[in-house]
Amino acid sequence: MSAVSKASDAAAALRVEGLTTSLKIDGVWRDAVRDVSFALAPGETLALVGESGCGKSLTAMTVMGLLPKGVGRLSAGRIVIDGVETSTLAERDFGKVRGDSIGMIFQEPMTSLNPVLPVGFQIAEPLMQHRGLSRRQAMERARELMELVRIPAAAERLKSYPHQFSGGMRQRVMIALAIACSPKVLIADEPTTALDVTVQAQVLDLLGVLQRERGLGVLLITHNLGVVATNAQRVMVMYGGDVVESADVGDFFAKPLHPYSRALLAAMPRVDRPTSDLAPIPGQVPTLAELPDGCRFQSRCPLREEACAVRPPLTPVEGGRRHVRCVVLARELAGDLPREGTA
């Protein structure tokens, strides 16, 4: 079982072990995501958080088998979706799993939906491919799915094109498409990006209802910690392609451990404190070519010391309830003398 997993192998809707994804940069393969492991149980929401460029979406694209050939590759690890190991499948065989056992809501529905095909047909297509329904049967099911995601006048909108929908309605179409074949796993990659606050709440509420009704395991990718606090049970923080902390959501918000986790929360606006208390994180996420071999947060970390030049392991702390990748914190939490100036 993964060190950051609470679901047994048999119970997991999605299990990822030691996932390493490499990208080819200037002719050199570089590890953009390193040794990521987790298990997702049915009905559970696991949030993957971090700044842009930290490897969240790349992890999702690897799980979905959507890495561009010649540019990205799964260099190590195993991926098991609903009991089927997909990391060794040929693309043709993976296509039987993608859209069936696992679905994905992409960041921007306007670029993810085909602009020249009616949305009804786009929702119906996986039903014809994976469930063997006739076109008429699939279109009827598409109408039912559009009603399920609360698209008004669904029967009339089946023949509409993506540009004829608002941003929130397009996102609902994407959700209908993703759940068409009743998958066990749903990856939601920034599902509320570019939506206003009211529509964001409606979309997240809809996802919650569908999850409870269908027992979906949801991998929620976001940089919005407010969404994490209200919609997830567990959280994994990524930086530079590494998981640097994992915990139950309640524990994470009550006491973030990793310096990067602390910095993220300190930079998050909150209604219970003035905006003058916000503390931006100095610097920026290094490019893939600039990432250090050791702790990838070291160039921005206030706790940096010589030992950070070697990559620390993801260490269980607090009786194994949480995990943190920081040599300084692991030493302190193991009972050594606290580092001066740390909380």
Task: Please give the pLDDT value at position 159.
Answer: 96
Task: Please give the pLDDT value at position 195.
Answer: 78
pLDDT per position as a tens digit, 45-72: 999 999 999 999 999 999 999 999 999 9
Task: Please give the pLDDT value at position 335.
Answer: 60
- Is residue 1 very low, low, confident or very high in pLDDT (cuts 50, 70, 90)? very low
Residue 197 pLDDT > 90, yes or no? no
Dist CA 39 CA 323 (whole Å): 14
**Could you tell me the domains of the chain?**
14-240 (3.40.50.300)
Q: Which helix (H) or strand (E) holds 48?
A: strand 45-49
Beta strands in 97-248 (DSSP E): 102-105, 185-189, 217-222, 234-239, 242-248
Q: Other C-beta atoms within 10 Å of 115: how many?
A: 9
Dist CA 193 CA 73 (whole Å): 27
Global pTM value: 0.89
pLDDT per position as a tens digit, 224-280: 898 999 999 999 999 999 999 999 999 999 999 999 999 999 988 776 777 767 788
Residue 334 pLDDT > 80, yes or no? no
